[in-house]
């Protein structure tokens, strides 16, 4: 065997055929062959994941994971745990397309922000370099059964019930990843330019201690009520954007939750969309319950529990009836 081929096989952990092809493309130059490999080798693994656990927890999640399969490092994890099942999401598309699906899903659908964060943190902890590398190697060998078993072992640690899941893996090279990153940078730049022309105002959420939704259970897309608390000059500028008078601008306004983040102090920072180009900002304590524009209808009869005194009255009534029956029987 050519010593250079042997060196490449050992250094790159590639097959003899791959080493020979690299060496030929690099015209016998080992350093150049290694550079070619770093550019072309599909070391990165994009995982599209759908998880369901509906018997008890009514849990449905979609997550995308990007990791370096060779060294096991995770580059990013993104996804959403939904309140309601979502039909028509195809996880068999390539990872780049699935990542876009996740982005649109989080933008268009209400999802459980707290559960999403918990599940994401769980995946980051459990998918350590050793696990990622073993999944990558088994997938390269075509051992899909072993890949599924390894993923199932990881996911089962989050649930106390049986789960159903499906996955799809896309292998990518540095070249693929660089093109993807450049596209994302372009999108972020365009989004930042748009953000720079937004008007930001301070608001306070309208509180409903009884029927309101706890702030930590809010999801992006929820419709809530807020009160604008800016001074008159700013309110006047915002009023023009909202097509309202200055007197009306401080009234309660319906809006859409666009951002929710937990701060270091345990409070929650919220951003709401009052109108295109007008964003409201506020910080809320975790115990606050916020009034929804369209609160879910709950059948009171099903949720109300009987007062303990009602049972006492029932018992007394039953005893009285029994006593009357006994007296009648005695008198006979």
pLDDT tens across 79-100, in order? 988 877 777 788 888 888 888 8
Interatomic CA distance for residues 255 and 226, integer angstroms: 7
Q: Are residues 105 and 234 in the same domain?
A: no
Q: Are residues 59 and 188 in the same domain?
A: yes
- Tell me whether residue 312 is in a domain: no
Last residue of a domain, one of 164, 194, 224: 194
Centre a 10 Å sphere on the Cβ of residue 327 and count the other Cβ atoms it contains. Answer: 10
Whether 162 and 178 map to the same domain: the answer is: yes
218: which DSSP letter? -
Do 156 and 110 lie in one domain? The reply is: yes
Kindly state whether residue 298 falls inside one of the protein's structural domains. no
Sign of CA dihedral 7, 12, 13, 19: negative
- Shared domain for 108 and 55, answered yes or no, is yes
- 248 and 223 Cβ atoms separated by less than 8 Å: no
Write the pLDDT tens digit of every residue in 99-133.
Answer: 888 888 887 666 778 888 899 999 999 999 999 99
pLDDT in tens, 165-198: 999 998 887 756 666 677 777 777 776 666 556 7
Same domain, 72 and 99: yes
- Cα 21 from Cα 254, distance rounded (Å): 63
Same domain assignment for residues 227 and 259: yes
| Residue 331 counted as domain residue | no
Tell me, yes or no, whether 64 and 106 share the same domain: yes
Is position 271 within any domain? Answer: yes
What are residue 93's phi and psi, to 5 degrees? -70, 170
pLDDT at residue 63, as a whole number: 94
User: Does 315 reside within a domain?
Assistant: no
* Count of structural domains within the chain: 3
Is the residue at 88 inside a domain? yes
Q: What pLDDT does 305 receive?
A: 43
- Burial tier of 18 (Cβ tally within 10 Å: 0-12, 13-18, 19+): middle
The answer to the question of residue 323 being in a domain is no
Asked if residue 64 and residue 18 are part of one domain, the reply reads: no
112 and 180 part of one domain: yes
Per-residue pLDDT, 300: 38
CB-CB neighbours of 296 under 10 Å: 7
User: Which structural domain range is residue 69 located in?
Assistant: 44-194
Q: Are residues 270 and 187 in the same domain?
A: no
The answer to whether position 255 is within a domain reads yes
Q: Residue 284: pLDDT band by 50, 70, 90 thresholds?
A: very high
Do 33 and 71 fall into the same domain? no
Residue 13 has pLDDT above 70, yes or no: no
What is the crossing angle of helices 30-40 and 174-195, to 10°? 50
Distance CA 226, CA 206 (A): 5
- Examine the fold and report which residue of 130, 159, 194 is the final residue of a domain before the chain moves on: 194
The beta strands (E) that lie in 229-287 are given as 252-262, 268-275, 278-284
């Amino acid at each position: 065997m050519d010593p250079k081929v042997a060196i490449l096989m050992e250094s790159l952990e590639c097959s003899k055929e791959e080493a020979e092809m690299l060496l030929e493309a690099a015209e016998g130059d080992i350093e150049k062959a290694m550079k070619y490999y770093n550019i072309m080798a599909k070391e990165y693994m994009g995982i599209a994941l759908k998880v369901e656990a509906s018997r008890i927890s009514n849990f449905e999640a979609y997550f995308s994971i990007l990791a370096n399969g060779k060294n096991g490092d995770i580059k990013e994890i993104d996804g959403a745990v939904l309140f309601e099942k979502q039909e028509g999401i195809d996880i068999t598309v390539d990872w780049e397309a699935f990542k876009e699906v996740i982005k649109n899903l989080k933008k268009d659908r209400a999802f459980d922000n707290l559960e999403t964060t918990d599940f994401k943190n769980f995946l980051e902890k459990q998918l350590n370099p050793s696990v990622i590398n073993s999944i990558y190697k088994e997938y390269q060998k075509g051992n899909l059964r072993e890949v599924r078993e390894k993923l199932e072992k990881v996911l089962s640690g989050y649930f106390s019930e049986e789960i159903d899941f499906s996955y799809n893996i896309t292998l990518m090279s540095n070249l693929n990843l660089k093109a993807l990153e450049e596209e994302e940078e372009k999108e972020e730049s365009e989004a930042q330019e748009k953000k720079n022309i937004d008007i930001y105002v301070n608001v306070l959420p309208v509180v409903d201690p009884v029927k309101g939704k706890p702030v930590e259970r809010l999801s992006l897309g929820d419709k809530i009520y807020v009160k604008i608390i800016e001074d008159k000059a700013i309110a006047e500028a915002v009023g023009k954007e909202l097509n309202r008078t200055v007197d009306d601008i401080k009234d309660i306004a319906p809006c859409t939750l666009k951002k929710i983040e937990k701060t270091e102090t345990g409070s929650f920072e919220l951003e709401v969309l009052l109108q295109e180009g007008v964003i409201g900002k506020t910080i809320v304590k975790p115990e606050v319950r916020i009034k929804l524009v369209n609160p879910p209808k709950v059948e009171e009869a099903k949720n109300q529990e009987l007062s303990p005194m009602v049972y006492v009255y029932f018992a007394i009534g039953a005893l009285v009836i029994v006593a009357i029956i006994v007296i009648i029987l005695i008198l006979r």
